[in-house]
Structure formats: C-alpha cells, structure tokens
C-alpha cells in the first residue's frame, strides 16, 4: 500500500506505490486498435540502499535499532573533524542552526516512532527487490519548448471551453494538440500511452495539465476552475542550483504574482514546499501567504530515509539535511465571511512527519494526495503548481509538467484483460472518497504488496 503506516506523529509512505496507483490500467491506440497495459514506475529509482556518507568499520551498523543513533554518531565525528567558531557563521547559517535545533526533537522522535511501527510490519528492513539497471536518463527539453512557444497566440479569455482540450476517446490524434496554450485533459478512467511532441508519455486517468512557463499561466486562470487543494514546489533560488544549472529558478518576489486568489476556492488548503533556508520559510509565512490571503496553519516535515530506515544525511549535518519543510495554510476569501463555503474544516495538526525513501531523480517529490485527503472534502478539485509529473484526478501546471511521465521512467507490461489489476490497487486521487485509515497496514500481505519489476 502507498500509506504503509500512520500514527499520531505522521505517516510512512511507499512513494513508488503512490505513483503506480494512477498507472495500473492504461490503454494505447494505434491504427484504430486498442491495447491494454500496466505501467509501473521503475523500482531502481527508489532503491536508496546506503546513506550519503562514509562509515568506517568501527561505526558499522549493528542492526535496525541503531539506525538513528548512527547518524548522530557520524555527526559528532564530522564536528570533531571540522570545527568552526560561532563567529565564523553568517546570519543565514546562524538562523539555520537555530531553526534546526528547534525542530530537531520533532524530526528525531517522530521518525523513530514511525520507523518502530513499520519495522514490526517488515518494512524498511533493508531487504529490497533491487534491480541492477541504470537510472533513466531521459533528456528533458520541455522548458526550452515552452520558451519557444511564447510566440504562439493565446486563446480568447472569454471562451472558457476553448481553454480545455481532450485527448479524445481514442487518443490517436494527440500529436495535433496545442499543449502550450490550452489545458489538455484525459477524462477517461484509464491511463493513456500517447505520443506528444514525438515522445511517448503515460497520462494518468482523470488528469488535466498545462505545459507552460510562469508568463503563460493564463489558460489555467481563464478556464473557470476553482480548487480546494493547491500544492506547489517552487524553484527556489540557491547557490548550488545556479552552479548545477539543472533548471531555472524563480526569485521569491516573483512568486507573489501567482494568481492563487483566482484559482483557490474559499477555504482552499495551500501547501508549499520550502527549502531549509530560514529566509525562504519566513518569506512564505510572513509575506507570501499574507499577500494571497492564506492563513498559516502548520509546518510539516518530509524525512528522507534509506531502505533500511537510516537518515539519508546525518541529522545534524552542517550542509544537507535529511528533511524538507512544507508550510500548510487555508485561503480566506474576502468575499466570504467565514471563508469556508458553509462547510466545516478539518483542523490541520502542526509538526507532522512524513517518512519515505526519496527518489534518486532530482527534485522528484512524493505525492501528498493520500496524506492530505482528510483535510479536504471528498470531491475536492486539486491543483499542483510547478509540477514535473501528473497525478490521477489532479490538474497540474509547469514548464516540465510531463518530465517524469515519459515512458522511459516506467516498466510497461502488456495485459490482455483491462480489469486484471492486483487487488488493492486502484487509481488513487484527491477525488477518491476517503476511508478510515488504520494505525498501520501490513505491506507484506500479498493483496497489498507493490508490483515488482520482472
């Protein structure tokens, strides 16, 4: 199952299974003939077996119970090797250290509680179905295509229907779609393997997307849709990103131009991924959310661990941390006195922890759809901004919105029976009706085990 365990501290997620939920039933049309497939995200992308630091023989792991203390031990060894006086730190580093010390007990205790729970379920034990294959290395040129597409004319603002186009029941004419100026939609209950711009992509069911950069987001606004859940992962500016040139960043001040008030329904839950720089966190809490009329509710933490449950970096590392932060808030519409559309809102708990094995692919965040379900209504419309992949039941926008939907990231298996889906696998989405979630689920049960790659 995608949610392996849940308790009062947070959740443990199987991020790969979260992706598979939306791709278990796919079709492809070729020469008016329909073929059925099952698509699984490649397992080697989530086989992080070792932490990103070296260990000598004396510090070798002696079992599951030492996974967390081991990171602390290595941190102490690192501090002994490289000491800096307090006066050597700049203000940003001082702020980072202070914030880390503040949230450290939440990270440590929450992670330990969740790991203890999942190990009783035989999960994160270090035993994997690792596949000896290289990671997909598909070159993504979508951002460059978006830049070129700026010369294309936009659709008339008044014609809402013209802003949305369908892949069609047969998906065979996808090559003629305008992906840059219109929202593209797969309204079917099955995923589709389609050819777009000369490459094959897997499009989940009940999914809509707009491929454009920041300056061409208008079709998303003018289509007339309002959303009850908005998740965004902005391309924050930082020095390492500028050096790597992996993708373009966006100045914090430019984020205020995002049309959140035009996209959000009253009471909309807004979730923003933030880097570990306190200046970015302060900006979101003190400037960005107030600018949009969003009330800050909570901070959550995504903790990244290996397949044996170790932090991917030492918890007290002075460089990279094994966690990232999310800021959650609700949009308070000035047009609605109670800003809740007459419906009750589920309170959002503060300082929850989400534990999962991270993807080896750069900037590939886990889906939050499953953990956010209880905080929005069952039929909520969901939107992801700055997306690099698609989710069933969601609308997504970004200049690389199809990046991780490329067929090279999936293992595609033909199937004769379109209903031949393993028990427990359904096309999960934000629009699915919520169910009562037990404190823990047994991932080793045959009916809930994730599909394996042959």
Residue 437's pLDDT is 36
Mean pLDDT for the stretch of residues 332-347 = 66
Residue 439, in any domain of the structure: no
For 371-420, how does the pLDDT look when each residue is reduced to its tens digit (9 = 90+)?
Answer: 999 999 988 999 999 999 999 999 999 999 999 999 999 999 998 865 65
Please give the helix or strand (H or E) that residue 62 lies within, else none: none
More confident residue, 423 or 374: 374
Residue 59, in any domain of the structure: no
Residue 273's pLDDT is 97
Q: What is the pTM for the complete model shown?
A: 0.83
Strand ranges for 164-314 from DSSP E: 164-166, 183-186, 191-196, 199-203, 207-211, 227-232, 264-274, 294-304
Q: Is 123 helix (H, G, I), strand (E, B) or coil?
A: coil
Helical pair 67-81 and 91-119, crossing angle rounded to 10 deg:
160
Residue 416, in any domain of the structure: no
Mean pLDDT of the chain: 81
Residue 274, domain CATH: 3.40.50.150
Strand-pairing partners, residue 34, are 29
d(CA 435, CA 438): 9
DSSP code at position 410: E
d(CA 292, CA 383): 16
Residue 224 belongs to domain spanning: 138-303+317-409
411, 417 Cβ separation under 8 angstroms = no
Residue 117, in any domain of the structure: no
Residue 446, in any domain of the structure: no
Cβ neighbours for 31, distance < 8 A, ≥ 6 positions apart? none
How many folded domains does the chain comprise?
1
Residue 247, in any domain of the structure: yes
Residue 354, exposed/middle/buried by CB under 10 A (0-12, 13-18, 19+)? Answer: buried
Residue 382, in any domain of the structure: yes
Residue 378, in any domain of the structure: yes
d(CA 175, CA 196): 5
Mean pLDDT for the stretch of residues 57-63 = 34
């Amino acid at each position: 199952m995608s949610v392996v365990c849940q308790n009062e501290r947070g959740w443990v997620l199987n991020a790969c299974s979260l992706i598979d939920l939306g791709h278990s039933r796919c079709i492809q049309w070729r020469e008016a003939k329909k073929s059925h497939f099952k698509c699984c995200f490649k397992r080697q992308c989530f086989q992080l077996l070792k932490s990103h630091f070296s260990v000598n023989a004396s510090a070798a792991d002696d079992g599951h119970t030492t996974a967390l203390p081991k990171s602390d031990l290595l941190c102490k060894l690192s501090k002994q090797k490289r000491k800096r006086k307090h006066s050597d730190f700049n203000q940003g580093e001082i702020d980072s250290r202070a914030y880390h010390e503040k949230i450290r007990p939440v990270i440590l205790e929450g992670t330990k509680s969740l790991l203890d729970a999942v190990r009783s379920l035989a999960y994160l034990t270090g035993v994997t179905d690792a596949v000896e294959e290289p990671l997909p290395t598909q070159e993504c040129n979508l951002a460059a295509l978006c830049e070129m597409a700026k010369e294309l004319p936009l659709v008339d603002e008044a014609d809402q229907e013209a802003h949305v186009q369908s892949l069609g029941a047969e998906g065979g004419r996808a090559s003629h779609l305008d992906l840059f100026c219109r929202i593209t939609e797969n309204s079917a209950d099955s995923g589709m393997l389609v050819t777009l711009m000369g490459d094959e992509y897997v499009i989940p069911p009940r999914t809509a997307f707009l491929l454009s950069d920041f300056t061409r987001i208008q079709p998303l606004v003018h289509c007339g849709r309002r959303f009850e859940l908005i998740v965004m992962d902005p391309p924050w500016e930082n020095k390492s990103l500028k050096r790597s040139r992996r993708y373009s960043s966006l100045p914090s001040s430019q984020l205020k131009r995002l049309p959140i008030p035009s996209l959000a329904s009253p009471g909309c839950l807004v979730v923003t991924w933030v880097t570990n720089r306190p200046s970015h966190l302060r900006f979101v809490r003190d400037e960005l959310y107030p600018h949009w009329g969003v009330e800050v509710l909570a901070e959550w933490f995504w903790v990244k661990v290996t397949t044996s449950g170790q932090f991917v970096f030492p918890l007290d590392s002075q460089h990279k941390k094994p966690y990232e932060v999310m800021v959650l808030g609700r949009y308070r519409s000035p047009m609605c006195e109670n800003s809740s559309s007459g419906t009750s809102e589920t309170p959002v708990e503060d300082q929850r922890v989400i534990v999962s094995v991270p993807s080896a692919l750069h900037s590939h965040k886990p889906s939050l759809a499953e953990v956010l379900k209880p905080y929005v209504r069952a039929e909520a419309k969901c939107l992801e901004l700055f997306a690099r992949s698609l989710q069933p039941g969601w609308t997504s926008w970004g200049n690389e919105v199809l990046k991780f939907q490329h067929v090279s990231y999936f293992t595609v298996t033909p199937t004769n029976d379109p209903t031949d889906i393993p028990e427990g696998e359904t096309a999960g989405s934000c629009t699915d009706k919520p169910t009562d979630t037990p404190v823990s689920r047994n991932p080793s049960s045959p009916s809930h085990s994730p599909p394996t790659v042959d």
